[in-house]
Each structure stands twice: as C-alpha cells, then as structure tokens.
Chains A and B, each alone.
Chain A
C-alpha cells in the first residue's frame, strides 16, 4: 500500500460524458501528479500540482483539467469523452522538496489507479 488513494477504481461511461477522478496523496506529500497509461502509449505524464498550484504540464488534452485543493487532494476532470480516452489513470504523490531524511524527494508514490472505459 503506497498511501495514495484513488477513487473510483473502475469507471464505465459513454462517449461525450464527463467524469471526475479523485486522488488523495500520502500524508505530508505536497506534489500530486496525474498519468495516463494505455497499452500503446505507455505511461504519459499529464499534469503536476504542488501545494495547490499547477507546476508542470505534459500531454494533457484541453478537454481534461485538474486541480489540487487546500487539503491537497486532487481531482482530474475528463470531459467530452472519446473512445480513445479509455485507459488507466494513475495519481502519484511526492514530498516535493529537497532531500528529506535522506530519501530522494523525487520518489513518486503511485496510487492503485482508476480504470476508465469509454463505450
């Protein structure tokens, strides 16, 4: 158990719909990252938040948006869903500051993922 929780575990929806994926980082972690994993695209970085602010953006579509709330949990919103959006969506968290207690601050702890199926 990484300490990162994601809900829901599975989500089945139709094209054109909108869904929200939720992530709670490990206690004390300030950075949250979202990734998309599909069979043919590997693990693709979508976006990073640090202490409520967007810090880095990857290959995130305009139909997708995310935010990190004051309690540090994060939500990924996917709208106008297409068949190609079917994938496993992972959230990860990290401390987000330089070496703490000798542990590499860049280490990311992944949640169990949300499997999204768009029909």
Chain B
C-alpha cells in the first residue's frame, strides 16, 4: 500500500537554528499537505502543495514539492519556541476525485523541540 515516510522522527534545536523535515512517498502524489500538532493539541493545516516543483513560503516556513511529486520538505528558518510540536506531511494518492478529496496518508511526523 501507499506509504509516506518522514524523517527525522525527532529534532532538537537551539532557538534561532534552522529546522528541516523531509517527506517521501513510495508513489506519485496528487498533492501534499502539511500539518502541525502542538503538544496536547490536534493537527492544524499549514499548507497544500499541488504542482510539481512548487515552493511556497509562510513567513519563516518554506515548503517544497518535488519535481516527481514524490517528496516534499518543510524548512523553518530561525526557529522560535512557538515552533515546538509535531509536523506531519500527508499525501493524497492519484486523482482526488471530482467532488470529494480522498484519504490522506500521513507520515509518522517529526517532533520538534526548541531549546531557548
């Protein structure tokens, strides 16, 4: 079945350092989404990438979708303590359908700890 692998599983950084998490799929994805889950909270949508080679930025966060639409990355510049949490990528396989988006396959997540 479709698998989405995410690395690293854990990342500890000092405040101000950069952070990157990588996501790889065994199959071509229709799109990829990124979510953030704060400790004790629920996943919150960050962004969706659809096009091959797409790059999107949100302030200190940069998201990339690979040319083959099989990998993606999230890079945070100059981490802050508010960045702590688990970052998940989630992919949709193939045709999402005309009137509904199908299931997301989540990566295992990267748990980010930021030391002040």
Which A residues are within 8 Å of any B CB, using their own CB? 2, 30-31, 33, 35, 42-45, 48, 50, 55-58, 90, 92, 94, 96-98, 104-113
- CB of B109 closer than 8 Å to a CB of A: yes
Give the nearest-CB partner of A46 in chain B: B103
Residues of A within 8 A of B48 (CB): 104, 106-107
Give the nearest-CB partner of B107 in chain A: A42
B7 to chain A, nearest CB (A): 13
Mark the stretch among B16-24, B76-84, B91-99 that contacts chain A: B91-99
Contact count A vs B, C-beta below 8 Å: 73
Which B residues are within 8 Å of any A CB, using their own CB? 31, 33, 35, 41-45, 48, 50, 88, 90, 92, 96-109
Q: How far is the CA of A107 from the CA of B31 in the complex (A)?
A: 11
Q: Are A42 and B96 in contact (CB under 8 A)?
A: no
Q: How far is the CA of A106 from the CA of B88 in the complex (A)?
A: 15
Q: Which of A42, A56, A112 contacts B42 (CB 8 A)?
A: A112
Residues of B within 8 A of A58 (CB): 103
Decide: A50 near B100, CB < 8 A? Known: A42-B106, A43-B88, A43-B106. yes
Q: How far is the CA of A55 from the CA of B41 in the complex (A)?
A: 27
Residues of A within 8 A of B106 (CB): 35, 42-45
Q: How far is the CA of A112 from the CA of B97 in the complex (A)?
A: 28
Q: How far is the CA of A94 from the CA of B99 in the complex (A)?
A: 11
Decide: A2 near B101, CB < 8 A? Known: A42-B107, A43-B88, A106-B33. no
Give the nearest-CB partner of A6 in chain B: B42
Decide: A107 near B99, CB < 8 A? Known: A42-B106, A42-B109, A43-B88. no
Give the nearest-CB partner of A108 in chain B: B45
A95 to chain B, nearest CB (A): 9
Q: Are B103 and A45 in contact (CB under 8 A)?
A: yes
